Chains A and B, each alone.
Chain A
Amino acid sequence: MKVTDIKDPEYFHKVVDCQYACPAHTPVPEYIRLIAAGRYTEAYMINWESNVFPGVLGRTCDRPCEPACRRGRVEEEPVAICRLKRVAADNKDEVKHLMPQGPFTPNGKKIALIGGGPASLTVARDLAPLGYELHLFCEQKLGGGMMRSQIPSFRLPDTVLNEEVNYILDMGIHTHFNKFVGSLKEVVDGGYDAIFVGTGAPRGRDLPNLPGRKEGAANIHIGIEWLASVAFEHTSKIGKKVIVLGGGNTAMDCCRTSRRVGGEDVKVLVRSPFAEMKASPWEKEDAQHEDIPILDNHVPLSFVVEDGKLKGMMFEKVHPVYDENGKRQLLPTGEADVFIEADDVLLAIGQENSFPWIERDLGLEFDKWNMPVVDETTFQSTLKNVFFGGDSAFGPKNVITAVAHGHHAAVSIDLFCHEKNIMERPNPMTNLVSAKMGIHEWSYDSPVTIDLRFIVPQADKKLTLADRKKEVELGFDLETAFKEAQRCLNCDVQTVFTESRCIECDACMDVSPTNCITFTPNEEEDALRQHLLMPALNKTQDLYVSMDLPTGRVMVKDEDVCLHCGLCAERCPTSAWDMQKFLYNTTKAGK
């Protein structure tokens, strides 16, 4: 195998599993250590720099970091990364003075941001300090996009959202709320140097051809429209019996919101088997905890309407059958169709993009799915001064992805406005420093705790179901937060090997508790993976291969289950191993 190039910033970045998996690449272990140290403000600012909405995300993030967390590979559950973020947000001191302070010297460039969701707000935050004049247009009356219209208050209180949206708007953004942009052409002609489209995926799927759809229309609602109307207080009640169709997170928010506005007998009905539902496991748990049954393998057949009034729905029972490629088919079980009573039905079966307001003769190309053609690196459309990001770019995802897109688009817009090549992306900022403080002393807590994941306490169900705005999760108390933070394996403290120092005494190989290190003759990767002390079967994790050593062997370290305990460095007589703290920050616009 080739010698590992540890100078390539992506090598060590990949070792920091959580940070690597995070779309915005937030330096997770760095802020977790700060939380353990009680330095909540600094922990918050690291998050804010990177993901812009720590308080929001600490409650609502889809947390792609957690399935990636190394801890999940050595014990049962990953570190509660997301909920630790909330601890930083809830316990920080005043932070505004730590943020860029306006007024900023204008740079003479004017940008339009269409849509007021996390994608546009991220672009605004990145560009405002550089002196851009930013005009944000949104049809809603307040900023936040779907974070406001869709994510219910019992998961995300308004105060938290307002605070973080306002940090950005207070940077001197020119807001144009209650303004639906009906024509991109108008904006293009408006004299902007660049335009960012962050309009999300605002259309909920319907079942227009299901029998009874028209007749029952008064009591059949599109989930995301209904959630928005609850959020903006146009709707405040629903019937006692509610069917929610769909298996994603929108369905979970619909059913739980229903329980708070009059729904007593609320059921979720989903076509797929329970285990394959799109909703995150914790969202499903929370729904079930609120006495909402989830009936899987039910395919809707019709709305049953009597005397002009919706009575319920008919379903066919199916079961999944998989072909040899693992492709799933839902086949009828042959059982009798099922009738389920309902006063109201909420359709939460998916979301789509919709760009009726973009003229098709502007030079902005659309693909066969009617989606704009957008570059995945630069987020530029085929109309050079128009950029996309968030759900509007590649379909519905989540807040953190919208933020990540926003950062990339801001970099592009900044390069574009300075007439630079937007394909030449600036390098990330990295730093690698030894964590050694003395004998048996490191600048991080190297011992590995055996605590299992701590559970975030919830408010009493009686209270939360009675008040739509009462936040369900209470967040970790500080003592538990400390213990949870200590579960982090400090994957950013890298094991760094210096060949010239190694005397091949095997001490590191013998001491490594998870058998990460092997001294062995070099081979092709597949063979090498098999011939290590413990075969390296997880191919998503790299092998760290040294140059040839005097005995002709190489040092091979399987990064997979390294605990970053530092014992290798501790037991090495020559300091050929050192533990070094690696910091990786994606570049932001103007840096």
Chain B
Amino acid sequence: MSYIRPQFRHPNLPKNSLGYTSKDYEGGLSTLCAGCGHDSISAAIVQACFEMSIEPHRLAKMSGIGCSSKTPAYFLGNSHGFNSVHGRMPSVATGANLANRDLIYFGVSGDGDTASIGMGQFVHAVRRNLNMVYIVMNNGCYGLTKGQDSATADEGSKSKAGSVNPFQAIDLASLAMELGATYVAQSFSGDKKQLTPLIKAAMHHQGFAFINVISPCVTFNNNVGSTKSYDYVREHVEATGTVDFVPMAEEIKASYTEGNKALVKMHDGSYLELHKLATDWNPQDRISASMALQQARAKGEILTGLLYVNTDYHELHETLGTTLTPLNELTEKDLCPGAEALSDINAGLR
């Protein structure tokens, strides 16, 4: 019998500033199909949280339904989590976030969970610039229900059974940008070097940080003719450049923009260091970013890397002017300030 993960880890495993090793960020052993792209994304999430020294109890994993939405069971086993109903993660995340703004909200969804049943919820979370990370593990199909085409399946893409998808695909990254997401990135499950810093930066971003990760379904959508297979994606990815996440503690020496290098300052004082490959693209300009995406699509390329980032726009709490204190920490005195305060309010409404 195998399939029991040993307790031993590499004896030289490094420790982060909290004294934790990556083992402390693992979850249960995955029950997804062997070779599923989603598992690689989970590994990148573990790595990102380890490297950022996230305190596990300061993070809440939010998900819907699908193989992708199952993955929170396989990472950050010491964090909070809410596995909601199919397509309903955005509203649960919105509620949780409003109740306690001090946690990091880490949403994981699938292309079915987001682009089909959950579309109505997704767009509003984006529009409100809810402060969360939202990863779509995009395999172009409904993996959990045995591989039906999803709304992100490309037109002309062939299923394992041989049928060709007649519909146009929803391009989630374009859509998110259009709806006002303030951090939009795209990546491939097989490229952790790119994905891990993108996740780290997304967690630092204040506002809706969306990452569309192409993640092959090895069982139902890894066939010849599929545009979401390992081989196809590898042949068609085109990176905007590389991103390094520079935590705020480190001093930045380079100048702001220097040739094809750009620095983006985040709210908390950390930086994104971009090494651009794509020319004619300014990640801080929505029109330029949209153009780059459209152009890549026209060429049949999958543009990966950071696409767009806006650090000026307010996240939901700031827009609403909500209390800075998480609701569970508000005392009776805060909530029932007394007759005098009430009459002041009433006076203000006269």
Chain A interface residues (CB < 8 Å from chain B): 73-75, 440-442, 445-448, 450, 503-507, 510-511, 513-515, 534-535, 537, 550-551, 561, 563, 565-567, 569-574
Say yes or no: A510-B39 contact (C-beta < 8 A), given A440-B3, A446-B1, A567-B2: yes
Specify which of B3, B30, B37 is in contact with A505 (CB 8 Å cutoff): B37
Please indicate the chain A residues that have their CB under 8 angstroms from the CB of B36 in the complex: 505, 507
Q: How far, in whole Å, are A571 and B231 apart by their CA atoms in the complex?
A: 19
- Check: B98 CB closer than 8 A to any chain A CB: no
Decide: A570 and B3 in contact? CB cutoff 8 A: yes
Specify which of A441, A503, A510, A514 is in contact with B230 (CB 8 Å cutoff): A503
- Check: B218 CB closer than 8 A to any chain A CB: yes
Decide: A565 and B2 in contact? CB cutoff 8 A: yes
Known: A445-B1, A505-B40. 19 other contacts (CB 8 A): A73-B11, A440-B3, A442-B1, A448-B4, A503-B222, A504-B230, A505-B35, A505-B37, A507-B40, A510-B40, A511-B29, A514-B6, A514-B9, A515-B13, A565-B6, A567-B5, A570-B2, A570-B34, A571-B39
For chain B residues 182-220, which have a beta carbon within 8 Å of chain A?
189-190, 192, 216, 218-219
Q: How far is the CB of A495 from chain B (nearest CB, A)?
A: 13
Decide: A75 and B8 in contact? CB cutoff 8 A: yes
Say yes or no: A573-B7 contact (C-beta < 8 A), given A503-B230, A504-B230, A506-B40: no
Q: How far is the CB of B174 from chain A (nearest CB, A)?
A: 27
Please indicate the chain A residues that have their CB under 8 angstroms from the CB of B218 in the complex: 503, 505, 573
Decide: B8 and A505 in contact? CB cutoff 8 A: no
Decide: A447 and B40 in contact? CB cutoff 8 A: no
Decide: B34 and A506 in contact? CB cutoff 8 A: no
Q: How far, in whole Å, are A394 and B30 apart by their CA atoms in the complex?
A: 55
Q: How far, in whole Å, are A368 and B129 apart by their CA atoms in the complex?
A: 87
Q: How far, in whole Å, are A537 and B42 apart by their CA atoms in the complex?
A: 27
Specify which of B3, B33, B43 is in contact with A567 (CB 8 Å cutoff): B3
Please indicate the chain A residues that have their CB under 8 angstroms from the CB of B253 in the complex: none
Decide: B35 and A571 in contact? CB cutoff 8 A: yes
Q: How far, in whole Å, are A548 and B273 apart by their CA atoms in the complex?
A: 32
Please indicate the chain B residues that have their CB under 8 angstroms from the CB of A569 in the complex: 2
Residue of B nearest to A579 (CB): B2
Q: How far, in whole Å, are A1 and B14 apart by their CA atoms in the complex?
A: 26
Residue of A nearest to B26 (CB): A513
Which of A511, A569, A571 lies at the interface centre, i.e. has the most chain B CB atoms within 10 A of its CB?
A571
Say yes or no: A74-B3 contact (C-beta < 8 A), given A571-B34, A574-B35: no
Main secondary structure of the interface of B (DSSP, over half): loop
Q: How far, in whole Å, are A565 and B2 apart by their CA atoms in the complex?
A: 7
Please indicate the chain A residues that have their CB under 8 angstroms from the CB of B219 in the complex: 573
Residue of A nearest to B46 (CB): A510
A-B contact pairs, 26 of them (CB 8 A): A73-B11, A442-B2, A447-B4, A448-B7, A450-B7, A503-B218, A504-B230, A505-B35, A505-B190, A506-B189, A506-B190, A507-B36, A507-B40, A510-B39, A511-B29, A513-B5, A513-B9, A514-B10, A515-B9, A561-B11, A566-B2, A567-B6, A569-B2, A570-B34, A573-B33, A573-B219
Please indicate the chain B residues that have their CB under 8 angstroms from the CB of A514 in the complex: 6, 8-10
Please indicate the chain A residues that have their CB under 8 angstroms from the CB of B222 in the complex: 503
Q: How far, in whole Å, are A550 and B234 apart by their CA atoms in the complex?
A: 10
- Check: B346 CB closer than 8 A to any chain A CB: no
Decide: B7 and A534 in contact? CB cutoff 8 A: no
Residue of B nearest to A73 (CB): B11
Specify which of A441, A450, A534, A550 is in contact with B12 (CB 8 Å cutoff): A534
Decide: A537 and B12 in contact? CB cutoff 8 A: yes
Which of B29, B34, B36, B37 lies at the interface centre, i.e. has the most chain A CB atoms within 10 A of its CB?
B34
Q: How far, in whole Å, are A448 and B9 apart by their CA atoms in the complex?
A: 11
Q: Mark interface residues in B41-60 (1 if CB within 8 Å of A CB, else 0).
A: 01100000000000000000
Q: How far, in whole Å, are A300 and B230 apart by their CA atoms in the complex?
A: 74
Decide: A507 and B12 in contact? CB cutoff 8 A: no
Residue of A nearest to B192 (CB): A506
Decide: B35 and A515 in contact? CB cutoff 8 A: no
Say yes or no: A563-B39 contact (C-beta < 8 A), given A441-B1, A573-B34: no
Decide: A448 and B6 in contact? CB cutoff 8 A: yes
Q: How far, in whole Å, are A505 and B231 apart by their CA atoms in the complex?
A: 10
Please indicate the chain B residues that have their CB under 8 angstroms from the CB of A535 in the complex: 12
Q: How far, in whole Å, are A505 and B188 apart by their CA atoms in the complex?
A: 11
Q: How far, in whole Å, are A441 and B4 apart by their CA atoms in the complex?
A: 11
Say yes or no: A503-B35 contact (C-beta < 8 A), given A510-B43, A513-B5: yes
The list of the 9 closest CB pairs from A to B, nearest first, reads A573-B35, A448-B6, A510-B43, A505-B35, A447-B4, A446-B2, A573-B34, A566-B2, A74-B8
Q: How far, in whole Å, are A107 and B5 apart by their CA atoms in the complex?
A: 56
For chain B residues 35-86, which have a beta carbon within 8 Å of chain A?
35-37, 39-40, 42-43
Please indicate the chain A residues that have their CB under 8 angstroms from the CB of B189 in the complex: 506
Decide: B230 and A505 in contact? CB cutoff 8 A: yes
Please indicate the chain B residues that have their CB under 8 angstroms from the CB of A74 in the complex: 8, 11
Please indicate the chain A residues that have their CB under 8 angstroms from the CB of B9 in the complex: 513-515
Say yes or no: A441-B2 contact (C-beta < 8 A), given A507-B35, A507-B39, A571-B34: yes
Say yes or no: A572-B35 contact (C-beta < 8 A), given A73-B11, A448-B8, A506-B190: yes
Please indicate the chain B residues that have their CB under 8 angstroms from the CB of A503 in the complex: 35, 218, 222, 230-231
Q: How far, in whole Å, are A267 and B3 apart by their CA atoms in the complex?
A: 54
Q: How far is the CB of A460 from chain B (nearest CB, A)?
A: 36
Please indicate the chain A residues that have their CB under 8 angstroms from the CB of B8 in the complex: 74-75, 448, 450, 513-514, 561, 563
Please indicate the chain A residues that have their CB under 8 angstroms from the CB of B1 in the complex: 440-442, 445-447
Please indicate the chain B residues that have their CB under 8 angstroms from the CB of A446 in the complex: 1-2, 4
Q: How far is the CB of A81 from chain B (nearest CB, A)?
A: 19
Say yes or no: A534-B190 contact (C-beta < 8 A), given A507-B39, A510-B40: no
Please indicate the chain A residues that have their CB under 8 angstroms from the CB of B30 in the complex: 511, 571
Q: How far, in whole Å, are A188 and B52 apart by their CA atoms in the complex?
A: 77
Q: How far, in whole Å, are A414 and B295 apart by their CA atoms in the complex?
A: 78
Please indicate the chain A residues that have their CB under 8 angstroms from the CB of B40 in the complex: 505-507, 510
Q: How far is the CB of A491 from chain B (nearest CB, A)?
A: 14
Say yes or no: A440-B6 contact (C-beta < 8 A), given A503-B35, A551-B234: no
Please indicate the chain B residues that have their CB under 8 angstroms from the CB of A567 in the complex: 2-3, 5-6
Please indicate the chain B residues that have their CB under 8 angstroms from the CB of A574 in the complex: 35
Q: How far, in whole Å, are A570 and B222 apart by their CA atoms in the complex?
A: 19
Q: How far, in whole Å, are A567 and B34 apart by their CA atoms in the complex?
A: 10
Decide: A513 and B6 in contact? CB cutoff 8 A: yes
Q: How far is the CB of B15 from chain A (nearest CB, A)?
A: 13
Residue of A nearest to B35 (CB): A573
Q: How far, in whole Å, are A448 and B6 apart by their CA atoms in the complex?
A: 5
Please indicate the chain B residues that have their CB under 8 angstroms from the CB of A572 in the complex: 34-35
Please indicate the chain A residues that have their CB under 8 angstroms from the CB of B10 in the complex: 514-515, 534, 561
Please indicate the chain B residues that have their CB under 8 angstroms from the CB of A513 in the complex: 5-6, 8-9
Q: How far, in whole Å, are A391 and B231 apart by their CA atoms in the complex?
A: 62
Q: How far is the CB of B188 from chain A (nearest CB, A)?
A: 11
